[in-house]
Amino acid sequence: MDVVVLVAAVAVDATNFITKSDASKEAFKTATLLKTLTINSLITGEVGVGKNTLARYILPEASIIDASNFDELLTTLESSREIIITNLENSPNIKRVVESIVLNNTRVIATAKSSYNNEYIDELFSIKFNIPPLSTRVEDVEFLIEKFIQEASSIFDSEVEIDRSNFKPDLTNNAKSLRRQVMINSLLRDIQDIELMEIIENYLFDKLGSNSDYREYMYIYEVPLIRAGLKKFKSQLQLSDKLGLNRNTLRKKIADNRDYL
């Protein structure tokens, strides 16, 4: 049975925590255990893996403060029995924060990037666990894509379908980038040429101004055309014929745009 942790708070990640893969099931299992305990815990992982969602699941009523908001964090620690501290690595004075937590006997669930390590936190957090990136959780990726497609259908009030044969999930920021990708694909699926031109016009409006703009921004038009053509016709020879270009000219354009192809 798949578990979806429903989170209403605006401050947490856009996605709910999905437990399809073994790694995410284990993370959720640990979080469920922490709901029944009164100990401090540190959740680590990359941006968009679901750290804040699990933290909110553990402490649903707690205030959420980013560690960079130092004064606000210290004030909240003095007046709260429990708190969620996000991005612990951003704290300008982690020693002072730890001292305040101990002094006020505040229960803390904190989140940080995977590589975060500090001598002052080792004794503070009884349980530490890491959520792996989505690139290692293929089952979760597939489930999230379907979830975001359903969300897009609701937002745009129409049935959204994505051509999965040409869809390469953007996992650069895990669920955050994947959700953005699905939403953009959903928004643009029925776009008209005039609408697309308006989008490009608005994009270019504030960027134009040098003497080499035509050459500088030609890739915006050429790259999508070449990408689509190579996917559709499978070879440079066929694409050069369909575009009415000399084969050497096409090769040069591909070379010029190699950073995007």
Q: What is the C-alpha separation between 48 and 137, in angstroms, rounded?
A: 13
Say how far residue 2 (Cα) sits from the centre of its chain: 21
Over residues 101-122, mean pLDDT:
93
Percent with pLDDT over 70 in the chain = 94
Per the CB < 8 A criterion, the answer to whether 65 and 72 are in contact is yes
pLDDT at position 175: 95
Percent with pLDDT over 90 in the chain = 74
- Predicted TM-score (pTM) of the model is 0.76
pLDDT at position 14: 38
Q: What is the C-alpha separation between 106 and 194, in angstroms, rounded?
A: 57
The answer, yes or no, to whether residue 190 has pLDDT greater than 90, is no
Per the CB < 8 A criterion, the answer to whether 45 and 12 are in contact is no
Q: What is the mean pLDDT of the chain?
A: 89
The answer, yes or no, to whether residue 129 has pLDDT greater than 80, is yes
